[in-house]
Amino acid sequence: MQIGPYFLDPPVLLAPMAGVSDRPFRQLCREWGAGLTVSEMVSANPKLWNSHKTRLRLDHTGEPGPRSVQILGTDPEAMAEAARLNVGHGAQIIDINMGCPAKKVCGTLAGAALLRDEALVGRILDAVVNAVPTPVTLKIRTGWDLTQRNGLAIAQIAEQAGIRALTVHGRTRACGYSAPVDYAAIRAIKQTVKMPVIANGDITSPEKARWVLDSTGADAVMIGRAAQGQPWIFREIAHYLKTGERLPPPSLARISQCVLTHLEHLYAFYGETAGVRIARKHLGWYSRWWPTGAAFREKINPIASAAEQLRLTGHFFEYLATQEPLAA
């Protein structure tokens, strides 16, 4: 699929996820075959732009293009200024968040809460599209709740505003992440607009990705939680879409190298204290798939030293390779 001048191959994208899709994880997913990765959301509140968290989110050093950055806010002019700020820091695609269901976000009337005000949606989209020369994309849900499913109307507003691609998570805000995904709603939106549509929601395997593309007519799929702990899912989906065949899972040695490199990149990006803390959740996701993963997590979670965290993780992979008891 194509967004502005950027041809995305494969059409398998990493979703923006707060606290997850940071630069180290985005780079890792690109190495494993993601056609595009979208950053964590950057607030349009200028009071936050000098915070340490935002400075990290504006750092795209060494990141391959195209670089897509998601912005979050409710004021059209502030959103336009946030878009200009991020383009100035290297963003090549600006993505607008109108899909986040979190109470903290919707409580400020941002994210999915914006779907309740179609006029404001139009003003925000117009302001951002007119503010930057880069393509602007939008991520939405199918509506606020089951009585207010206006995803189709929002999609039409977006296309009229010049949005270049639309990602649809096939649930309402009220549905959170637990209700069944409404792929029929994604299909209805795809049939109504001409811009590329990206399907999102519960795409957890190569076979599911193929089915979603076929049943919705979407141009691409976006992977979120299914990439946590298994970034190689992008390579597996891409291969299946091209050949109809399943790739064998990556070898233990390849996974070990991936995980250890990921940890090193987290330490380098965040510093030791924050890097170790953030690495814990990634190790929790990775170890879901490992034998005796619970024992590993119990052992690794109290560790505060980067060197020790790295050593114990490497030791655990050696244990998996030999199937000998894990040393104390």
Using CA atoms, how far apart are residues 158 and 153, in angstroms rounded to an integer? 9
To the query of whether residue 100 is one of the catalytic residues in this protein, the response is yes
**197-200 and 220-223: which strand pairing?**
parallel
Task: Work out whether the CA dihedral 185, 188, 189, 190 comes out positive or negative.
Answer: positive
Q: How far, CA to CA in Å, does 124 sit from each of 35, 69, 148, 210, 314? A: 27, 16, 20, 34, 48
Q: Which of 269, 314, 250, 220 is nearest to 32 (CA)?
A: 250
- Phi, psi for residue 280 in degrees, rounded to 5: -60, -45
Strand locations in the chain, DSSP E?
A: 2-3, 6-7, 12-14, 36-43, 68-72, 93-98, 136-141, 165-169, 197-200, 220-223
Using CA atoms, how far apart are residues 125 and 144, in angstroms rounded to an integer? 18
Residues 183 and 155 sit within 8 Å (Cβ to Cβ) = no
Provide the total of helices (H) and of strands (E) in the chain, helices listed first: 13, 10
Task: Work out whether the CA dihedral 118, 122, 128, 132 comes out positive or negative.
Answer: positive
Largest pairwise CA distance in the chain: 63
Kindly name the residue from 100, 106, 175, 258 that is annotated as catalytic: 100
- Which residues are catalytic, by number? 100
